[in-house]
Amino acid sequence: MKREFLQGLQVGENPLPKEVIDVIMAENGRDIEGVKARYADYEELKQQLAQAETVAAKAWEEKLNNQVETHRREMSDLVFSHNLEKAILSAKGRNPKAITALLDVDALKASENQTTDLEEALKVLKQDCSYLFQSETPPPYARGTGANQPETIQSPATLAGALLEKFERK
């Protein structure tokens, strides 16, 4: 409110006295200062809210990045485990868990060319621990083990036949 406005007001035929105008202007000044104080508080709260939003946004972004990194690591481990098991089975491994326990899995995960390094590690392990892998050649025949038995010589059916066979062959 401007002082000129109040000076232009009249009560009846008389203008407002100067004391009344001063009192009204003083009260108006206090109201304006109160509004300014509330506006300053509002600006301060607005700034604090912006800072809090920034901090919260950074915290959520960090949490998101951590989760993304965790899932990336898990996917990488899953792909490596699949490739490892596939390589063991293609090398005709008998027990993938036992073979995996003998390999340096951390070094293989960290290698640049996992496929080649994995094949090399399996070749070395195959030489050292061949019992963990199926052999390329079948084991030698052991009598009574299966369908590939060699034909047996017919034994005589009687005692006389057995004696005859024994003494005539000498």
SS3 of 94-107? CCHHHHHHHCCHHH
Give residue 54's pLDDT band: very low, low, confident or very high (50, 70, 90).
very high
d(CA 93, CA 17): 109
Domain ranges (residues) in the chain: 3-135
Q: What is the pLDDT of residue 142?
A: 64
Span between the terminal Cα atoms of the chain, in Å:
145
Angle of helix 114-128 versus helix 18-90 axis, rounded to 10: 40
- The pLDDT, as a whole number, for residue 132 is 85
Position 110 confidence tier, pLDDT thresholds 50, 70, 90: confident
Rounded CA separation 5/40 (Å)? 28
Q: Quick one: average pLDDT of 82-104?
A: 89
CA distance 91 to 135: 10
pLDDT, one tens digit per residue, over 113-148 is 888 889 999 999 888 888 888 877 766 666 666 555
- Whether pTM > 0.95 for this model: the answer is no
